[in-house]
Amino acid sequence: MKQRILRVLNAAGLPVLEPVVRLCAGEAPRTQLRALALTGGVPVLAFGIFLLLWSGLARGIQTKYGTVPTPGEVWTQAGNLWRDHVRSREAAAEFRRQQEEKARALDQAAREARTGATAAAEPDRGRLLERAASLAARAESARRARTAAAPTYVDQILTSLKTVFAGFLIASAVAVPLGILCGLSAAFRAALNPMIQVFKPVSPLAWLPIVMIIVGALYTTDPADAWFEKSFLSSAITVALCSLWPTLINTAHGVASIDRNHMNVARVLRLGAWKRVRKIVLPSALPLIFTGLRLSLGVGWMVLIAAEMLAQNPGLGKFVWDMFQNGSRQTLAQIMVAVFTIGAIGFLLDRAMILLQKSVSYDGAAA
């Protein structure tokens, strides 16, 4: 039983909780407590000291924009943002409910009109049928109506997550195949390497205007029917452009540094090129590919915030810029809430990638 729990914890990437389990099982309490103190107690203590220092210094630093917010103020703002979100959702639910009522009333009226039509004679009948049709159509619109409330903080977090995943998928779809080709063919690598070196260091803020212009020119579907907003595409593409390099380089490296002996096995068996890639190259390079993917996701998350500020994608980046533009007393605290949120999400994304990597590696290791 204990072993099973321990195995699950390890697979889930939470070996820190191991001492807890062992403690509960009554195993060598002193060793466990010491382990707990190290992995759990010390960080908590350090964070506590950080909070104290922050509180102390915050009062002392006076800027023209007010004092630096204390942890308490940041917490209050976080609470405000959450409450706004809850209220907005309640309002939206209320609105939906009312629209439903309205729709039902309209449907009822439509039904009455129709029954009236069957009883009536021309030309009344025609008129009533027309009326019934328009009432039914309005009922339909009422049912489909959505509020036009501003996105809440949670909405913005979700938008950011959706955008970073879109960018990450685009980046992976481009980087992994290119990386494989670079790793397999020296000619390809020689051809691509200069371009990789030149484009890798470019900042997202330099890509963004170009991407926005191109997206603006090429994505000409009517905004009313478009699946994606231009701001979403611009942000996702910029994220992709900046974050594809770690995956590309790591994939190329992983593919190029396949164990000579594994290649010899492929040669002795005379595996065809495609089979070689599928059965030998890819699985062998998978750990490095996943390392690349993990790095890319991290870079992408950082780049996203910057991109959103300018591309007007309604996510966390826009939140930070909008709050900055407000210039109110709560601005600094609100921006700090965003900072912590961004950090926490970045951490969770990284953990998720580690989990993913562990689950596909053949010996449970995460490179």
Partner 1 sequence: MTRCARAASRREFLGAASLALGGAALGLGCDGAAAPPAAAVAAPGGAVRGLDLEKDRLKLGFIKLTDCVPIIVARELGFFREEGLTVEVEAQANWKILLDRVIGGELDGAHMLAGQPIGATIGVGTQAPVVSAFSMDLNGNAITVSNALWKRMQEIDDRLKGPRPRRPVTAESLVPIAREFKEAGNALKMGMVFPVSTHNYELRYWLAAGGVHPGFYTPTDTRGVDQADLLISVTPPPQMPATLEAGTIHGYCVGEPWNQQAVFRGIGVPVITDYEIWKNNPEKVFGVTAEWAARHPRTHVAVVKALIRAGKWLDASIANRRRACEILSRRENVGADVEVIANSMTGTFEYEKGDKRELPDFNVFFRHFATYPYTSDCVWTLTQMRRWGQIPESRPDAWYFETARKVYRPDVYLEAAGELIREGLLSADEVPRTDGFKPPTRDFIDGMEYDGRKPNAYLAGFKIGLK
Partner 2 sequence: MTPARLELRRIAKGYGPEGRRVEVLRDVSLSVRQGEFVAVVGYSGSGKTTLVSILAGLLAPDAGLALMDGCAIVGPGPERAVVFQDYSLLPWMSARENVALAVDQVFPGWSRTRRREHVERHLSKVRLDGAGDKRPHELSGGMRQRVAVARALAMDPRVLLLDEPLGALDALTRASLQDEIERLWEEDRKTVLLITNDVDEGILLADRIVPLGAGPGATLGPSFEVDIPRPRDRKAVNHDPRFKEIRKAVLGYLLGPGRRPAPATRSVPEPEEARA
Residue 66 CB, nearest approach to partner 2 (Å): 57
Q: How far is the CB of 198 from partner 1 (least distance, A)?
A: 28
Least separation in angstroms between residue 292's CB and partner 2 is: 18
Positions 263 through 292 that interact with partner 2 (CB under 8 A): 264-265, 267-271, 275, 279-280, 283-284, 286
Q: CA of 261: how far to CAs of 84, 264, 265, 270, in Å?
A: 61, 5, 6, 14
Cβ count within 10 A of residue 57: 11
Q: How far is the CB of 105 from partner 1 (least distance, A)?
A: 6
123 binds, among partner 1, partner 2, none (CB under 5 to 8 A by kind): none
> Binders of partner 2 among 99-158, rule CB under 8 A?
none
Which 228-267 residues touch partner 2, going by CB under 8 A? 259, 261-262, 264-265, 267
Compare residues 238 and 334 and give the one whose CB is closer to partner 1.
Answer: 334
Which residues have CB under 8 Å from 39's CB, separation 6+? Answer: 16, 19
- Residue with smaller CB distance to partner 2, 287 or 314: 287
Q: Which is nearer to partner 2, 20 or 263 (CB)?
A: 263
Residue 175: is it exposed, middle or buried by C-beta count within 10 angstroms (0-12/13-18/19+)?
A: buried
Instruction: Output the smallest distance, CB 261 to partner 2, in A.
Output: 4
Nearer Cβ to partner 1 (239/258):
239
User: Does residue 225 touch partner 2 according to CB under 8 A?
Assistant: no
Q: Which one, of 293, 45, 285, 271, lies nearest residue 175 by Cα?
A: 293
> Whose Cβ is closer to partner 2: residue 227's or residue 362's?
362
Q: Which of 166, 141, 172 is nearest to 247 (CA)?
A: 172
Residues 6+ apart with CB under 8 A from 324: 331, 335
Question: Which residues contact partner 1 (rule: CB under 8 A)?
Answer: 64-65, 91, 94-95, 98-99, 101-102, 105-106, 109, 112, 116, 127-128, 130-131, 133-135, 137-138, 141-142, 145-150, 212, 216, 222-224, 229-231, 309-310, 312, 314, 318, 321-331, 334
Structural contact between residues 237 and 264, judged by C-beta atoms closer than 8 angstroms:
no
What is the total residue count of the chain? Answer: 367
Neighbours of 90 (CB within 10 A): 10
Touching partner 2, residues 308-367 (CB under 8 A): 362-363
52, interface contact from partner 2, partner 1, none, CB < 5-8 Å by kind? none
Cis peptide before 194 (omega within 30 of 0): no
- Chosen from partner 2, partner 1, none, partner binding at 29 (C-beta under 5 to 8 Å by type): none
| Rounded Cα distance, 300 and 27, in Å | 43
Output the smallest distance, CB 91 to partner 1, in A. 6
Quote the CA–CA distance of 233 and 238 in Å, as a whole number: 8
| Nearer to partner 1 (CB atom), residue 127 or residue 279 | 127
CA-nearest of 316, 189, 174 to 240 is: 174
> Could you tell me how far CA 92 lies from the centroid of its own chain?
24
Angle between the N-to-C axes of helices 282-311 and 204-218, in degrees from 0 to 180, rounded to the nearest 10:
80
Give min distance, CB of 300 to partner 1, in A: 21
Which of partner 2, partner 1, none does 330 bind, CB closer than 5 to 8 A by kind? partner 1
In whole angstroms, the minimum distance from the beta carbon of 276 to partner 1 comes to 47
Residue from 30, 314, 8 nearest 154 by CA = 314
List interacting residues with partner 2 (CB under 8 A): 259, 261-262, 264-265, 267-271, 275, 279-280, 283-284, 286, 362-363
